[in-house]
Structure 1
Amino acid sequence: MSTPPDVLVLRTGTHGMPVEQYAAAIRERLPDRSVELARTPAAEREAIADARFVTGMTFGEELLEAAAELEVFACAYAGTGHLPLDRLEERGVAVTNASGVHGPNIGEHVLGAILRFTRRFHVGARQQRNREWRHYQAHELQGSTVTIVGLGAIGEAVAERLEPFGVETIGVRYSPEKGGPTDEVVGFEGEAFHDALSRADYLVLACPLTETTRGLIDEAAFVTMDPDAVLVNVARGPVVDTDDLVSALRSGWIRGASLDVTDPEPLPEEHPLWNFGNVQITPHNAGHTPAYYERLADIVAENARRFDEDPDAELENQVLP
């Protein structure tokens, strides 16, 4: 009977990058431990039977049924809502996520979106395509207010990158008493949140999708926002009510929107959001970075060491139990 690997890597990759790169990055950090990549469904089913520490993008019910010895699942995404968390919790499996991996690249994506609307590069690009040399007015980021909904690793990265631009920042989080890197921190409830919406020149959504945040930005929110405000969504599509967003754009309640995520997703070809000149759409691409597997391997390798030394140790980015 073969010895189970110290780390089992499941076959699904992400962002179009071969999963072999992920396995290689973990091996580089754990030269004295065995790291196995299960490259086919059959290999996954066979290897999962006695694996104790497993990492991958997804983990379906079928694999869970076969994972008799599983103690840790290191999810390779920051979000874990797609996992059978209840079943994993029942089994006493520790679950970690990839929180922090996306901070630099999504922070840059948000900054790029804000600067695009500030300097109105989309207008310049349209005129260039039409070969028009015609002056247009722009905006200035300095002195504006940016409200960031969600102060996890991504929200913090956004705030840090905005600091040199001389803007005022307002952070929105579940526990405002924890503070954060923004000039002000408020909660989701009451007048303080509505005030944060009304003051925003740029509203950045970087929060998880929960019962609190689902449909958070709806008609009432768009009416509260300043007509010159721009929405930037790098969270999840359903944080914004799509029909209300379309109405807000048509009615001029906001100046524009940068959407890396949509509801529905992918955005159907016939959807009206494609046709707005003041809407930037990227295909859930803000999370891509060539450094993804390297950053993720840092977290997973460290947790594999901790688990090997003490199976009851607290793990980095642990979300269960």
Structure 2
Amino acid sequence: MSDHDVLVLRKGTHGIPVEEYADALRTRLPDSDVTLARTPEAEREEIEDARIVTGMVLDEELLDRAQNMELFACAYAGVGHLPLDRLREHGVTVTNASGVHGPNMGEHVLGNILTFTRRFNEGFRRQRRNEWRHYKAHELHDGTVTVVGLGAIGQAVVERLEGFDVETIGVRYTPEKGGPTDEVIGFDDDALHGALARTDYLVLACPLTDETRGLIGSEEFVTLPPEAVLVNVARGPVVDTDDLLTALRSGWIRGAALDVTDPEPLPRDHPLWDLGNVQITPHHAGHTPDYYERLADIVAGNVRQIAETGEYDGLENEVSL
């Protein structure tokens, strides 16, 4: 492989063949040789000379064979599963897929909010029973939505709330940076609890870190109004599951829409399945048929920049190691 050709590793995502990712890169990089390593043996052989590698995962054994790799373009937004210390030791630049999930996850969150607002789940239940009987609903208008995490996903959620006449509060590590919400606060307890006390919908769209692990527990559920709804598209451990069960059973909150859980996958006999005020999806919010197209836009743009400048610094979505 030449300096600016691209090696695609074999693991795909969302049930979409990884060949579609390789084809999307070839369309955007007609002057580059985009090679898809479709077997473990091909990965071991091709990575030895590859300078630009992209894929979902990269284990240490494969990394040790990558003698010339300068860039690993991770095809996931999160990079916690990668051997980051070893990549840093090897001097490899790492980028991620931040921004790829914005539209679909924003729509998923909005769908969850509207489902609980208009109680579509109750309508579905009555339809299955052929039951024409009215039920009470709610309004999103004049409500308050708090979004924890103002990265690409959180911003997409806020953008899709425009036009619903809601107050928005954003929670981020660096509130001085501001954001698209009406108000931006940090993670300190007083500010967070002050926001929760006036929140109708709490949306979790943050990464799992030492600071966010267990962020929402008993104290937070008691602080939320009893009509509040939790929407979690972040990671399961951001919420204390035992405290969530207590809150849902005790009426501390009205309900929860969970795309992620702790544990995950959620065991078949877990009590969350049987609660009528819980909407569960199987870590599905990230699915989009346009995943590889959006990812290829980012990776191809970086490959072109490298070809023009010869530099592997200052790339889009570069991860600080």
Both proteins in one fold, TM over 0.5? yes
SS at match of 1:12: coil
Residues in 2 aligned to 1:306 and 1:159: alpha-carbon distance in whole angstroms: 31
**Length, aligned pairs only:** 320
Identity over the aligned pairs, expressed in percent? 73
Output the CA distance in 2 between the equivalents of 1:265 and 1:65. Answer: 31
**How far apart, in 1, do the equivalents of 2:15 and 2:189 lie?**
42
2:200 aligned partner, one-letter code:
D
Aligned to 2:249: 250
Unaligned runs of 5+ in 1: none
Offset, 1:306: 1.5
2:209 alignment partner, SS class: coil
The 5 Å alignment of 1:85-124 reads 85-124=84-123
CA contact (8 A) 2:70 2:312 kept: no
TM-score scaled by length of structure 1 = 0.98
**Is 1:12 aligned with 2:21?**
no
Correspondence list, 1:1-321, <5 A: 6-309=5-308, 310-321=310-321
User: Relative to structure 2, which stretch is displaced further, 145-154 or 190-199?
Assistant: 190-199
CA distance in 2, matches of 1:311, 1:62: 26
CA drift of 1:313 comes to 3.6
Across the aligned residues of Structure 1 and Structure 2, the Cα RMSD in angstroms comes to 1.0
Q: Distance in 2 between matches of 1:172 and 1:53?
A: 35
Indicate the SS of the match to 1:283. Answer: coil
Conserved 8 A contact 2:4-2:306? no
1:165 is paired with a residue whose SS is coil
Q: After the TM superposition, which segments of 4 or more aligned residues of structure 1 sit over 4 Å from their partners?
A: 2-5
SS at match of 2:162: helix
Judged with a 3 Å threshold, the aligned counterparts in structure 2 of structure 1 residues 183 and 3 are, in CA distance, closer, same or farther, namely closer
Deviation at residue 3 of structure 1 after TM alignment: 5.3
Which amino acid is 2:80 matched to? Answer: G
Please say if residues 5 and 35 of structure 1, whose CA atoms lie closer than 8 Å, have aligned partners that are also in contact: no
CA offsets 1:251-272 (integer angstroms, 9 cap, x no match):
1110000000001110000000
Confirm or deny: 8 A CA contact 2:4 2:307 kept in the other structure.
Answer: no
Contact 1:5 1:36 in 2 (8 A): no
Q: What is the DSSP-based 3-state SS (H/G/I as helix, E as strand, rest coil) of the residue aligned with 1:28?
A: helix
Deviations, residues 196-230 of structure 1 (Å, cap 9, x unaligned): 11111000000000000000001111011111000
Offset of 1:91 from its aligned partner?
Answer: 1.1
SS at match of 1:302: helix
TM-score, scaled relative to structure 2: 0.98
Q: Which amino acid aligns with 1:292?
A: Y
Residues 94 and 128 (structure 1), Cα distance of their counterparts in 2 relative to 1, 3 Å cut: same
Label 1:209 to 1:273 Cα distance change in 2 as closer, same or farther (>3 A): same
